[in-house]
Amino acid sequence: MSIQCIIQTIKSYDTIIIHRHVRPDPDAVGSQAGLKEIIRRSFPDKNVYIAGEGDSSLDFLASMDGIDDHTYKGALVIACDTANAARIDDQRYNMGEKLIKIDHHPEVDSYGDVMWVDTSASSTCEMIYDLCQHAKNDGFVFSDEAARLIYAGIVGDTGRFLFPSTTKKTFQHAAELVTYNFDRPNLYDGIYNIKENIAKLQGYILQQFELSGSGLSTVKLTKELMDKYRVSPNETGQLVGVLGNIEGIKAWVLFIEEEDIIRVRLRSKGPAINEIAAKYNGGGHPMASGATVETWEETDKVIKDLNQVCLNYKA
Ligand code: AMP
């Protein structure tokens, strides 16, 4: 079973480098840094690193390690929360001796020597907690800091236990995690507090949005608009949920204009939208996906496809 194989593989390596996806979220960093914390606590002699570009909005969770290329020689690399190899941050993930994939997204790429993909898990953090539970007899220990990181990822990816991906197991894990000593209000502040300019752009979106007859809403964030509100493309993660409670909405999409691409952030309350994401160079979950297009003309095609799935959808 892959979970046992992962436990034994972790035990057998002295150097372990943990990656996650580009444009990280609390589940990506929480699973990555949570796993590092667990391994370090359990096996203090191992060298464990977390790789990828830092994101200042997630500094409250963990800071990335600077890693030389030669550190990868003979190392075990673990990629957390990333369905496709092209989205692993950074791309040195394949310079190690062995590669493990741990993820809860629908499979896009079968990369890695060992793969553990569980799409029934609410989050990769939920899987990391499972892993630690299974590994208790192998010397794995948990800590307050691991609980903080893992809890952050579960809260982040379930939308505070709101999304349908939240299961009995998610709540059971959460119930155990809150028995550890960490500052929950402070953690929530880190995840949910937003800057004034983001709040103002949220207000703009709520003022301007329109709902089509099919139940689709489309938001176009041009470079000009984001400059006006001084919001960076990475910060738009804090805007994407803003339309979720509008009565009658079935799906919505944010188009975010970057230097040479337009990022597509898709969300749904019913129709599966990940196949549309896959059609436009992306992927993700049925209710939360992302993609990339090159031109505004192409965004019209995405809107047409989304309208169609909304029209076809029967609750
Ligand atoms: P986001 O809007 O960035 O929060 O992404 C929502 C979900 O879609 C997350 O599970 C991401 O991992 C996934 N996702 C976003 N962009 C892409 C992409 N270009 N390719 C594959 N999956 C993506």
d(CA 126, ligand 1 centre) in Å: 18
**pLDDT for the residue 114:** 97
Cα(173)–Cα(130) distance, integer angstroms = 9
Q: How much is the average pLDDT of 85-105?
A: 97
User: Ligand 1 pocket test: which of 31, 81, 87, 157 has the largest number of ligand atoms within 8 Å of its C-beta?
Assistant: 87
Give the other-Cβ count within 10 Å of 146's Cβ: 28
Contacts of 241 (CB under 8 A, 6+ apart): 159, 267
d(CA 278, ligand 1 centre) in Å: 10
Q: How much is the average pLDDT of 205-220?
A: 97
Average pLDDT, the chain: 96
**pLDDT for the residue 315:** 78
Contacts of 138 (CB under 8 A, 6+ apart): 7, 8, 11
d(CA 256, ligand 1 centre) in Å: 13
Closest alpha carbon to 63 in 131, 129, 147, 149 = 149
**pLDDT for the residue 1:** 63
Q: What is the pTM of this model?
A: 0.91
pLDDT digits (tens, 9 = 90+) for 130-189: 999 999 999 999 999 999 999 999 999 999 999 999 999 999 999 999 999 999 999 999
d(CA 283, ligand 1 centre) in Å: 6
Name the residue at shortest CA distance from atom 12 of ligand 1: 284
Tracing tokens 């800091």 back to the chain, one arrives at 145
Question: What residues are paired with 155 via a beta bridge?
Answer: none
Ligand 1 environment, Cβ below 6 A: 21, 23, 25, 83-84, 87, 105, 237, 240, 265, 282-285, 288-292
